[in-house]
Structure 1
Amino acid sequence: MRSTARVRRGRGLAAVLAMAALALGVSGCDGYDSTSPASARKHVAASGPAAFAKGPQGTVDCRKAKCVALTFDAGPSVRTPQILAILARYHVHATFFTLGKNHVMVHPQMVRDMAAQGHEIETLTWSHQILTKISKAEIRKEITEGRDAVQKVTGVRPTLLRPPQGRTSDTVTAIAKDLGMAEVVWSANGADYKTTDSALITKRILAQTKPDGIILLHDLVDPTNVGYNGTVAAVPGIISALQARGYTFVTVSQLLAPGTPQPGKVYK
């Protein structure tokens, strides 16, 4: 009996340790420590206006309001005008993490349209190479060329970087810091790159979104029709459902206000 009990306790302890190791692996597998929007709000700039959002009732302070940031990766594309029209209909501003090659440089007017409508335009790098798999020189080149493409079109230099696939590391973060950029990942993922089912994309986002959330969707065309093609149809349902729950949509910078993005930080 005692031997059996010891075996059971041993197995139980092994299971707990395995789960702990798994949890540590999941939290640390990308090689970075993230900062929450709430923590970011404590890093208030010594001067300059805070990037507070403007809502139907006036200025929105995310220290008090129930805020969420809607972000789109990988555009602009031929679907961008549809997304912009939906955002305008719901009076929502989003953050677009753009690709320089084949996107910003191919659709410069769409990028200017984003800016004209008050959206935040940042970078997803130049060509979506996975930054943790390339050399330091290549990392710097990807970030710099993606950032500069946006600046060339809009006149405004991005300060936020979304690392492709959310993969970053101490090396990537150090280079981003040296370039004066902060990184932004996400807390709610529609996985719209895996399905064309708009209802499923909507369901995923609504299940994962919490106050101070950062939502990931994609502004991209998939010629294989495997994914992305359900995104546009999902956006109205996501926005209307979250607004009904009391959420206010803001850009990433507005989510962090009155704090300002700190180079070298990873926000999630």
Structure 2
Amino acid sequence: MTRSPKRFRRTASVLATGAALTLVMTGCTQLHTTSPSSVRNAAAAVKAADQGKTGAVDCRKAKCVALTFDAGPSENTPRLLKILKEMQVHATFFTLGKNHIEKYPELVKQMDAEGHEVASHTWSHKILTKVDASEAREELERPNKAIQKLIGKKPTLMRPPQGRTNDDVNKLSKELGLSEVLWTVTAKDYTTNDSKLIQKRVLDQTKRDGIILLHDIYKGTVPAVPGVIDELKKRGYVFVTVPQLLAPGKAEPGKVYR
């Protein structure tokens, strides 16, 4: 991603602050979130004809984990996609619109073509709980339209910037057919370019049904990915996309998953 150093540092600072604040928000708020296992358990109680497909991996039996990347695509994404393809891992990409989707449309197409889940991280990373209703709607509608134009389908998942959401955001997301996805593991890759440290942070936190948050815009992140994948595979984990993590259940628009 071509940016002036000053502009890149400013963007990185915004995203870093957001990620740090999210941990506080999700740790202290009364926000209701739904776990992957509860979605799968609920699906088991309905008729098979009404259930989603489990796909190649059944996370009711396998020890699954979802690898997710925020704020791309960027100039680092081609290398990441190559790594994921070589290691036979599918991820979920929460893409940004401005300066990302619009700058790297072919990478968005490649993500979809190679079996990854293309999701939304809004258009320009505005905090949805701090803008008015019309701005929040635009932040969610614009990437939906851009992604649909590129891959022929709208995203069904959205990660709110800084993980900040509320009843109004939930209601708007439901109207637009979007489910909100937070995370359970963060490498805090916005604080360091040390790939070994990023890898260690992920490995120390990951448990079954984990949703790992990384950013493919930072220099140290992509080099850490092979080590993360290798070690978690050794520990018996299977990598899936977020929809696969929930299957045979399905994410419901307007709900928040973590």
- TM-score tier after normalising by the smaller chain length: 0.7 to 0.9
Aligned CA distance change for structure 1 residues 74 and 25 (closer, same or farther; 3 Å): closer
Segments of structure 1 that go 5 or more residues without pairing to the other structure are: 1-23, 55-59, 221-227
2:214 aligns to what SS in structure 1? Answer: strand
Q: Measure the CA separation in 1 of the matches of 2:97 and 2:84.
A: 23
Per the TM alignment, residue 205 of structure 1 is displaced from its structure 2 partner at its CA by 0.5
SS in 2 for 1:132: coil
Q: Distance between the aligned counterparts of 2:87 and 2:74, measured in 1? A: 21
Distance 1:27 1:259 in 2: 26
Question: Which stretches of structure 1, 4 residues or longer, exceed 4 Å deviation after superposition?
Answer: 45-49
Q: How does 1:1-268 map to 2 (within 5 A)?
A: 27-29=27-29, 32-44=31-43, 47=49, 50-54=52-56, 60-220=57-217, 228-268=218-258
Query: Structure 1 CA distance, aligned partners of 2:25 and 2:158?
Result: 24
Within 1, Cα distance between the matches of 2:26 and 2:147? Answer: 33
Task: Kindly state the Cα deviation for residue 49 of structure 1 after the two structures are TM-superposed.
Answer: 6.8
How far apart in 1 are the matches of 2:155 and 2:92? 11
Per the TM alignment, residue 42 of structure 1 is displaced from its structure 2 partner at its CA by 3.7
Q: CA deviation at 1:79?
A: 0.9
CA contact (8 A) 1:99 1:123 kept: yes
Q: State the alpha-carbon separation in 2 of the partners of residues 96 and 205 from structure 1.
A: 17
Looking at structure 2, the residues matched to 126 and 242 of structure 1 have their Cα atoms a distance apart, in angstroms, of 32
Distance 2:151 2:26 in 1: 38
More divergent stretch after superposition (247-256 vs 136-145):
136-145
Change in 2 beyond 3 A, CA 1:155/1:43: farther
Give the structure-1-normalised TM-score. Answer: 0.82
Aligned to 2:9: none
Aligned-partner residue type, residue 184 of structure 2: S
AA at the equivalent of 1:181 = L
Q: Which runs of 5+ in 2 are unaligned?
A: 1-23
Q: In structure 2, how many angstroms separate the alpha carbons of the residues matched to 1:185 and 1:64?
A: 23
Cα gap change, 1:124/1:51 in structure 2, threshold over 3 Å: closer, same or farther?
farther
Q: CA deviation at 1:27?
A: 3.5
1:73 touches 1:217 (CA, 8 Å); kept in 2? yes
CA distance in 2, matches of 1:255, 1:161: 15
Determine the C-alpha separation between the residues in 2 that align with 1:38 and 1:188. Answer: 16
Q: Structure 1 residues 153 and 49 mapped into 2: Cα distance closer, same or farther (>3 Å)? A: farther
Q: Deviations over 1:204-235 (max 9, x none)?
A: 10111100000000121xxxxxxx11001100
Deviation at 1:41, TM superposition (A): 1.6
SS in 1 for 2:189: coil
1:51–1:253 Cα contact (<8 Å) kept: no
SS of 2:129's equivalent?
helix
Instruction: Report the Cα offset of residue 53 of structure 1.
Output: 4.0
Counterpart secondary structure, 1:239: helix
Q: Deviations for 1:223-258, whole angstroms, at most 9, x for unmatched residues?
A: xxxxx1100110001000000000000000000000
- Number of equivalent positions: 232
- Length-normalised TM-score, structure 2: 0.85
1:102 shift after superposition: 1.1
Q: CA RMSD in A?
A: 1.7
